[in-house]
């Protein structure tokens, strides 16, 4: 279960970024000179001389305080501003911004020191929370460039009701102590703060300068000693910048809640051993997508605390997604692109990122069909927090459909130039500020030009949807397949229409000028769905088919070849040389396990010393490869590798932080988002439980102002801050939550609380086939020592197959899943004995293939 939130603490030099007492606090000064106040008339002794305000503000100065009446109904913070211009800043120098402020209502405002020229570079951005009582604030920062024209701005718009803002004692002082960010890393014993499995590796990492082994103790919730031992020194570790030891308590078999490890005078955060925490996380990670939906009101009864009006449905102030034109009049049509998921913390919707995200979400279901430990029943109708309960469709597919339908809507209509291709994205004309609910977004919205990458994302995702929806909605499945094949042909006709690396204002670029991997992925999904020879030939002929596709991070929106190979390996198909693809996946997983074993954090990612933007998704995507290797081989080291890698995400890391909201004692909760913006507006929620933070980002060229201000010189694992302004380290996105959903579901399927399969082995053999049909024989053998009563078998029929009739068994097909009962008239299967039954099946034009696995269950 998610644990209670702990309070996030930041300790900053000179009380930087902390609310001070009413009298304020002096900053430390250079020893040989007095600070200079760069603000003119900051005490308002000369009225408002030196100050300016937007025309919609009126007010007066009294007793050294300037009070202004702020109109209601403004949508952006910058719709009402008080400021002062032409302030000189020197690169490398540190400054302290001080002011006292109050408000007639409890709310937050935006305080900035910036340049008043596009793109408005920022030296400092803060969001002080005001109340009726005057409070003093102090913020220190270091200038990164020489500016002669810096601007101090208090942006005070965005609030629905009129209110009064009062400002006094404003100073911008030179000679401040440079700000220092000291994150709260908690106990030096770093653990998975959620749960370990009783029969899997259980390790912790101790941060210590000790050179010799350190004794450790594992205690239960009552403080009783459960296990003890000595740590294994590792020494200096470059990704964390720490000296560390490894504590291995894998031999402990006790189960329960509230365990802790004590070592070197420190006691870890509590954790569970056993239980079904990952079952809860699987539900939360998939239910994350419902509040991300565009074009529908979010029902608070379904997602408590997250109810809101529908966004972008042509209701003012939205300009809506019902008839969106092309940017810069690049086309003469409009498209209804209502629906889909908001990509991240903004209001944009992107085909490229949406394609991989929905594919990975659908793969949660597809793995459940074909993996030996998969459990499609856990994903059934009614399993998630979505509004489509009662339709008989697995909830994860209902959620995926919301995005797939959006992808289809982005296709260029027939008869138009570039017909069949997909528009790359749709987003606002200009970036909006935080916070801003989707229904309050006033910006015009535009379709950005089509791209080959987006078109192939549409083809791949729609092809996968076609095979998964076929048993539930044949008409929708046919629509998806038609759109996928149309997109494929359009991409072949226009193979080099690339999205630019830069983007118009209002949205991210998602530029990609190498689409060989998108062609390979789309051909793979079309082959798996149709079996058509031309797609098979494209897959086999791709330069990527025999290449190593499993490097650092495995795959992402701009590199999807590995994603194709995972599906070729796991989804039943008759591709010539498929065993070679399986071998590639296993080799990739072995490489990740080798890197993981060398890390004192159990981390396969980051050995190069670089943690990219969204590094947590890279960690998880590598684990998806390792999980697939387990599904293909059943070898325990791959399962254990997945669980060990998950430890890092859940708190066994340099910051002692769980990167999943609602899980662990010290968790991320201030992700960059316009509507999960509790840090800026207490009336708004934090992200829902099960939301993944992007994670450490050591690529300084991509840093936002918050990261630039606080994270300079950070070791790679420490290049993270749980601040809503840090989109470079702390954004939430649909493509980052997708691998979390995959790995959480994998872990849930391995949970010791899930009943183990009995000792039996099923074998499925196709004896013969003909146009339109096939004959199969299934045998099941009791490999254990006890008779199996009430034996039930379950498997997923590969795409294009269904059952016509059977003998010596009762077969029921629901969706993709076939359930076999009453084997041999319901008799018990004795040890060492075998039951055999058969069936006649119906198939499409492709060669019939056997299911990937058969699950056994007994009373």
> Which sequence positions are flagged as catalytic?
346, 672, 722, 731
Neighbouring-strand partners of residue 190: 205
Distances (CA, A) of 185 to 182, 296, 665: 9, 39, 11
Place of tokens 């086999």: 540
Helix (H, G, I), strand (E, B) or coil at 792: strand
Beta strands in 37-121 (DSSP E): 52-53, 58-62, 65-70, 81-89, 94-103, 107-108, 110-115
Measured distance between the N- and C-terminal CA atoms of the chain, rounded to whole angstroms = 28
Name the token pair of 833.
């004995």
CB 612, CB 699: distance < 8 Å: yes
Apex 541 CA angle, 537 and 545, nearest 5: 115
The Cα–Cα gap between 776 and 772 comes to: 14
The Cα–Cα gap between 771 and 498 comes to: 42
| Among 84, 82, 85, 51, residue whose Cα is nearest residue 69 | 82
The Cα–Cα gap between 302 and 401 comes to: 18
The Cα–Cα gap between 177 and 95 comes to: 8
The Cα–Cα gap between 659 and 853 comes to: 34
Interacting residues of 537 by C-beta distance below 8 A, sequence separation 6+ = none
Q: Measured in whole angstroms, how far is the alpha carbon of residue 505 from the centre of its chain?
A: 24
The Cα–Cα gap between 1 and 280 comes to: 6
Main-chain dihedrals φ then ψ at residue 425, nearest 5 degrees: -170, 170
The Cα–Cα gap between 122 and 113 comes to: 6
Pairing label, strands 266-267, 129-130: unpaired
Pairing label, strands 195-196, 271-273: parallel
| Among 148, 144, 240, 260, residue whose Cα is nearest residue 196 | 260
The Cα–Cα gap between 194 and 744 comes to: 12
Neighbouring-strand partners of residue 814: 817
CB 268, CB 189: distance < 8 Å: yes
**Helices 578-598, 615-633: inter-axial angle, 10-degree rounding:** 120
The H helix count followed by the E strand count for the chain is 14, 39
Q: Measured in whole angstroms, how far is the alpha carbon of residue 34 from the centre of its chain?
A: 48
The Cα–Cα gap between 366 and 358 comes to: 12
Apex 20 CA angle, 15 and 24, nearest 5: 100
Q: What DSSP letter does each residue of 335-389 carry, written as one string?
A: E----SB--SSSS-EEHHHHHHHHHHHHHHHHHHHHSTT--GGGGSTTSSS-TTT
């Amino acid at each position: 279960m998610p644990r209670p939130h702990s309070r996030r603490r930041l300790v900053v030099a000179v009380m930087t970024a902390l609310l001070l007492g009413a009298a304020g606090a002096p900053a430390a000064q250079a020893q040989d000179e007095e600070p200079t106040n760069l603000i003119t008339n900051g005490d308002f002794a000369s009225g408002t001389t030196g100050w300016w305000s937007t025309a919609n503000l009126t007010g007066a100065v009294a007793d050294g305080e300037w009070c202004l009446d702020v109109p209601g109904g403004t949508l952006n913070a910058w719709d009402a501003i008080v400021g002062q211009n032409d302030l000189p800043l020197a690169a490398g120098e540190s400054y302290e911004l001080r002011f006292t402020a109050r408000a007639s209502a409890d709310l937050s405002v935006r305080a900035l020191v910036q340049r008043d020229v596009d793109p408005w570079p920022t030296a400092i951005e803060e969001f002080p929370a005001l109340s009726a009582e005057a409070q003093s604030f102090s913020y220190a920062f270091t200038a990164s460039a020489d500016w002669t024209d810096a601007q101090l701005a208090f942006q005070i718009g965005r609030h629905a009701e009129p209110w009064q803002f009062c400002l006094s004692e404003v100073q911008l002082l030179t000679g401040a102590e440079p700000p220092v960010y000291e994150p709260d890393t908690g106990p030096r014993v770093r653990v998975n703060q959620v749960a370990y499995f009783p029969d899997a590796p259980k390790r912790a990492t101790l941060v210590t300068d000790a050179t010799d082994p350190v004794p450790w103790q594992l205690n239960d919730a009552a403080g009783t000693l459960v296990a003890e031992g000595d740590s294994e020194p590792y020494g200096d570790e470059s990704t964390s910048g720490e000296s560390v030891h490894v504590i291995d308590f894998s031999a402990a078999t006790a189960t329960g809640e509230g365990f802790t490890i004590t070592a070197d005078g420190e006691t870890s955060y509590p954790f569970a051993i056993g239980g079904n925490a990952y079952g809860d996380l699987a539900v939360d990670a998939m239910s994350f997508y419902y509040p991300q939906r565009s074009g529908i009101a979010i029902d608070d009864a379904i997602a408590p605390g997250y109810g809101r009006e529908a966004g972008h449905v042509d209701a003012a102030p939205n300009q809506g997604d019902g008839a969106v034109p092309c940017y810069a009049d690049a086309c003469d049509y409009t498209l209804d692109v209502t629906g889909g998921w908001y990509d991240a913390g903004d209001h944009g919707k992107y085909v490229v990122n949406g394609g991989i995200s929905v594919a990975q979400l659908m793969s949660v279901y597809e793995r459940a069909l074909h993996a030996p430990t998969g459990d499609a029943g856990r994903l059934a109708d009614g399993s998630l927090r979505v509004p489509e309960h009662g339709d008989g469709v697995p909830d994860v597919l209902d959620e995926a459909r919301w995005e797939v339908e959006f992808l289809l809507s982005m296709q260029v209509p027939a008869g138009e130039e570039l017909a069949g291709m997909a528009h790359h994205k749709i987003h606002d004309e200009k970036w909006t500020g935080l916070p801003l609910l989707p229904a309050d977004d006033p910006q015009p919205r535009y379709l950005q030009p089509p791209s080959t990458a987006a078109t192939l994302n549409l083809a791949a995702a729609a092809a996968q949807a076609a095979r998964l929806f076929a048993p539930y909605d044949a008409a929708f499945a046919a629509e998806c397949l038609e759109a996928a094949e149309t997109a494929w042909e359009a991409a072949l006709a226009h193979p080099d229409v690339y999205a630019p690396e830069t983007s118009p204002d209002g949205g991210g670029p998602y530029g990609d000028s190498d689409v060989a991997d998108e062609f390979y992925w789309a051909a793979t999904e079309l082959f798996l769905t149709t079996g058509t020879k031309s797609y098979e030939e494209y897959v086999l002929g791709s330069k990527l088919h025999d290449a190593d596709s499993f490097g650092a991070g495995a795959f992402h929106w701009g590199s999807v070849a590995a994603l194709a190979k995972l599906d070729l390996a796991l989804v039943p198909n008759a591709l010539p040389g498929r065993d070679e693809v399986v071998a590639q996946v296993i080799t990739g997983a072995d490489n990740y396990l080798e890197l993981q074993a060398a890390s004192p954090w159990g981390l396969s990612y980051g050995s190069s010393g670089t943690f990219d933007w969204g590094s947590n998704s890279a960690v998880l995507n590598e684990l998806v490869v390792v999980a697939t290797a387990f599904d293909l081989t059943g070898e325990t080291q791959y399962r254990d590798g997945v669980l060990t890698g998950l430890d890092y995400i859940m708190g066994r890391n340099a910051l002692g932080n769980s990167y999943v909201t609602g899980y662990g004692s010290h968790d991320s909760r201030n992700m960059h988002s316009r509507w999960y913006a509790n840090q800026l507006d207490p009336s708004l929620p934090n992200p829902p439980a099960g939301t993944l933070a992007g994670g450490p980002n050591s690529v300084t060229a991509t840093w936002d102002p918050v990261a630039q201000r606080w994270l300079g010189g950070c070791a790679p694992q420490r290049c993270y801050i749980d601040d809503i302004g840090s989109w470079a380290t702390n954004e939430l996105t649909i493509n980052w939550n997708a691998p979390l959903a995959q790995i959480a579901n994998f872990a849930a399927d391995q949970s010791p609380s899930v009943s183990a399969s009995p000792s039996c082995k099923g074998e499925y053999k196709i004896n013969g086939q003909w146009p339109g049909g096939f004959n199969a024989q299934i045998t099941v053998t009791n490999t254990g020592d006890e008779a199996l009563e009430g034996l039930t078998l379950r498997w997923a029929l590969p795409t294009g197959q269904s059952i016509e009739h059977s003998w010596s068994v009762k077969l029921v097909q629901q969706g993709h899943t076939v359930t076999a009962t009453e084997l041999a008239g319901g008799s018990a299967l004795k040890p060492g004995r075998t039951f055999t039954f058969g069936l006649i099946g119906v198939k499409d034009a492709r060669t019939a293939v056997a299911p990937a696995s058969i699950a056994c269950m007994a009373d």
